[in-house]
Amino acid sequence: MNRKKKRLLLSDIILMFLLIAVDQITKYAAVIKLKGNQPWVLLEGVFEFHYLENRGAAFGMLQDQKFFFILIAAVILLVIIYVLIKTPYQKMYIKLHVSLVFIASGAIGNLIDRIRFDYVVDFLYFSLINFPIFNIADIYVTLSAVFLVILLLFVYKESDLEFLSFRAKKSRDIK
């Protein structure tokens, strides 16, 4: 691994730590200020801070499946680490790196909660559309996953991602 690639991976790790810190600090603030209290309405009928201990996934699905969520998060993180390491050091892949770092940060942020508390602290609520209560880590994962899909569908060509193919590697090795 060359020096520039190592620097990029170090940047990924630093960004990840910063994003996780923001997530954990906001959750800590939610616990201190909101737990056991009435929701704090920021814009009446639109947005409020509302404390919730989420033992499931999005929309309350899969309640009390802690080990399932830990396993899924671990698999996702391993795949992301693999892709980050395998990705060539080229400017065209910076967006891929950033989106994967945001997804990993969100997964780790919620994983920390699940391991520490057996639930995830959620506190952001759009009452205007009665959207399920969520947190900063959820924003990281959701927006970055959408961005990643856009990258894969509209930005990168199949040939741009050959570095991820086991088959492509074998054919290169045979030559």
Q: Which of 113, 118, 122, 173 is catalytic?
A: 122
Q: Please list, residue by residue across 137-149, b when 16 or more beta carbons sit within 10 angstroms of its beta carbon and e when fewer do.
A: bbebbeebeebbe
First-to-final CA distance of the chain: 22
Residue 138 annotated in active site: yes
The answer to whether 83 touches 100, Cβ cutoff 8 Å, is yes
122 is catalytic: yes
Residues 53, 70: contact at Cβ < 8 Å?
no
Q: Which of 118, 138, 160, 173 is catalytic?
A: 138
For residue 43, the cross-strand partners are: 47
Check if the beta carbon of residue 147 is closer than 8 Å to that of residue 103.
Answer: no
| Residues with catalytic function | 122, 138
